[in-house]
Structure 1
Amino acid sequence: MTGQKLNIVQAIFLFTLAVGITNHVIIVPLILNTAYRDSWISALIAIPPIVLWTLILFLIMKLTKQQSLYQWFSQHYNPVVAWLILIPLLIFVLFILFITVRDTTAWTKITYLPKTPYPVTVSIYVLSGIIAAMSGLRSLSIAAGILLPAVILLGFFVMSVNFQFKDYSYLLPSFTNGYTPVIHGTFFVLGGLVEFILLLGVQQHLTKKIRFITLIALTLGVTGLILGPILSSIAIFGPYEAADQRYPAFEQWRMVLIGKFISHLDFLSIYQWLAGSLIRISLAFFIFFDLIQLRSDKWKKIGMLATGIIVIILASQYSLSDHSFFNFLQHYYFPFTLSFFYFFPFLLLLLIFMKRGNAKDEAKQPVP
């Protein structure tokens, strides 16, 4: 797994694709199901808190000088504290891995491979992610740089072609159900955006120091990936029909019609979805085994294969219905993700400031 260094542009491409697929696909139906017509307001309200959170993330990266979290906290505290910092991130990455595989394979079976045995599609996705992760972080970033432009162009394509079906009057009136649903919808937006905390897991692999304006552009850009499909879904289908759809972004592709003879272009959404999912699964594998400090490529590969087998077994369970999975995301996963990982960087920053304060006090003490 050589070649793990990447520049800032490559990191932007990588995380836009990896985090964007969650916010564009998995988060949107949750927000629509909660806030309905006011879902687009939820995305806008999330901007100030995510800007504050991004500032904290930037300060952590700056004060640690983009060292690995394990190395910095081991040097300034001790290895026990370092592992206590890493454990929540490791658990988070495992959930990201499972949820991505489960949601992608469920969509695959529902839409275009209904007769393919479920374990087969799960195994293909997981093994493809492992192979890509084994190639190294730089290879993943290059792949993301190739895949992302086409994903963005296809997004603008479906947005513009479907203007003929949109009625933006569906967006108003606002707050007909009060403010509570809007706030709840904002929680889901933030629950998806806090995945950018994984930047702390790869900061040691960046060739240059990342700037605050770059982080803000990245987080706000992905916020746009939430706002766009929400606006389009409500404008095309209306707030209540959009809320009833399991995959609103995919349903927009099924509406595409050019003239009288060009339609059924929803197969292009397969490229968009799988491009993001593959990068996301691969990045999750890479970050997990990079965080646990395995130095041997041999043991990393063995660990990835063992973890992949466990994910295949768990994600292939027929007893986990899509309804149960959706409820798990809505009532447990994203609320917990937000409540913990929104405040987790604040805790890290506090620990960093405490150690810097102690270091300054020690420096002021007179030499005997």
Structure 2
Amino acid sequence: MNPPKPTALQAIMTIMLTVGITNHVFIIPALLQVAKRDAWFSVILSIVPFALLILLIAYISARTKGKSLPDWLESNYGKRLSIPFKFISAAYFLGTAWFALFDTIMWTKVTFLPYTPMVITAAVLMLICLIAAQLGVNSMAYASGVLLPFVVLLGFYVATVNVQYKDYHQLLPLLEHGWAPPLKGIIYACTGLFEIFFLLFLQPYLKTPLTNKHFVIVGFILVGLTLGPLTGSIAEFNPHEASLQRYPAYEQWRIAGFGKYVSQTDFFSIYQWLAGVTVRIAVALFIATDIWNISKKRQRSALLLFYAVGLTLLCLTTFTDIQFQHLMIRFMFPFNTGLILIVTLLLAFAVFISAHKKGESGT
């Protein structure tokens, strides 16, 4: 007997972990470097394009009626569109998995495992993600339901404990260097927010289709996940100091204590980070494999293993942390924003044309 499909709530919790690690950790250094004090204002401004993207995604979701996007494209436009879409989607999700894996093992080396070879850290983390992806989306959704509440509680804890060190006057004045920095920062803010796009790939596995209300709820959550640690970093460290930090969200944990006798609680950040990145990589591996509709379990497992080994070996690249950060800010984040926007627009156009043709054929 097949296990029950995940609910919309479990999908939202999975997205909070999968995308939340990007909004909460990965993009904040880039935002601070590009927009400095106005980084939080960039997030506010990005709500406009983000809202438009949510409308497009909700429209696509409603018209495809929870069907797999490659299957929908093939049934409406044939393989000439579905095959390229599969290649682009698989490459995108594998790139997402590699980025999360490499940044995580770089973080572990810089913070608490300086003498452990990076390939060992990468292999152990990838093995856990491989097992999760092999078990399927149900297991990842249930795991998210267990992991997320503790991640959220720890987030509220560090935000509350550090209030004594925060000076929110650091958020002002706005537009100190004109409109250029916050406008440039919109690209980076949208990098994480636009990943709500992932829901279109998860919806075929859910018990009930996602509604407009679900997309709006996820949208509010993702904006909050970006604004919280970003404003906290500026208020605690000042804009200049925060922009120099490699992991501002982690630095907030380093000054958070627990009572009189525990002066450091940064070990909690390890749980938060690994919970998010494990689900993120597992979801990316699952989608990159499932998109090919492989029916045989052995072939599916072989493809998953191939992906996992390949991503682990890619971590042996000789990027330094500075080079990797430069690659993220100059290329990866802007490319990610542009790709999701273009693919979403093309899908919405394809859905509109299909609905128009069906309307004409029905008249």
**TM-score, normalised on structure 1?**
0.96
Superposed CA deviations along residues 311-341 of structure 1, whole A, max 9, x for unmatched, are: 1111122x11111111111011111111221
Superposed CA deviations along residues 147-204 of structure 1, whole A, max 9, x for unmatched, are: 0000000000000000111111111111111111101111101011222212222221
- Which residue identity does 2:291 align to in structure 1? L
Give the equivalent residue in structure 1 for 2:148: 148
CA distance in 2: counterparts of 1:4 and 1:119, whole angstroms: 37
Give the equivalent residue in structure 2 for 1:340: 339
The 3-state SS of whatever aligns with 1:342 is helix
Instruction: Check whether the contact 2:118–2:315 (CA below 8 A) recurs between aligned residues.
Output: no
The number of residues matched between the two structures is 362
State yes or no: 1:326 paired with 2:313: no
CA distance in 2: counterparts of 1:259 and 1:123, whole angstroms: 37
Give the equivalent residue in structure 2 for 1:96: 96
- Structure 2, unmatched stretches of 5+, are none
State yes or no: 1:208 paired with 2:208: yes
Query: 1:260: Cα distance to partner?
Result: 4.2
Instruction: Check whether the contact 2:258–2:265 (CA below 8 A) recurs between aligned residues.
Output: no
CA distance in 1: counterparts of 2:3 and 2:81, whole angstroms: 29
Query: 1:294: Cα distance to partner?
Result: 1.2
1:127-206 aligned within 5 A: 127-206=127-206
State yes or no: 1:224 paired with 2:224: yes
Query: 1:80: Cα distance to partner?
Result: 2.0
Give the equivalent residue in structure 2 for 1:37: 37
Instruction: Say which is worse superposed, 219-228 or 232-241, in terms of deviation.
Output: 219-228
CA distance in 2: counterparts of 1:273 and 1:200, whole angstroms: 24
Instruction: Say which is worse superposed, 337-346 or 105-114, in terms of deviation.
Output: 337-346
Query: 1:262: Cα distance to partner?
Result: 2.1
Query: 1:209: Cα distance to partner?
Result: 1.7
Give the equivalent residue in structure 2 for 1:362: 361
- Which residue identity does 2:255 align to in structure 1? M
1:222-261 aligned within 5 A: 222-261=222-261
Gap change, CA 1:194 and 1:87, over 3 Å in 2: farther
CA distance in 1: counterparts of 2:6 and 2:184, whole angstroms: 37
Gap change, CA 1:45 and 1:288, over 3 Å in 2: same
CA distance in 2: counterparts of 1:223 and 1:215, whole angstroms: 12
CA distance in 1: counterparts of 2:141 and 2:361, whole angstroms: 42
**TM-score, normalised on structure 2?**
0.97
Instruction: Say which is worse superposed, 330-339 or 84-93, in terms of deviation.
Output: 84-93
Query: 1:258: Cα distance to partner?
Result: 4.2
Query: 1:61: Cα distance to partner?
Result: 0.7
CA distance in 1: counterparts of 2:62 and 2:70, whole angstroms: 16
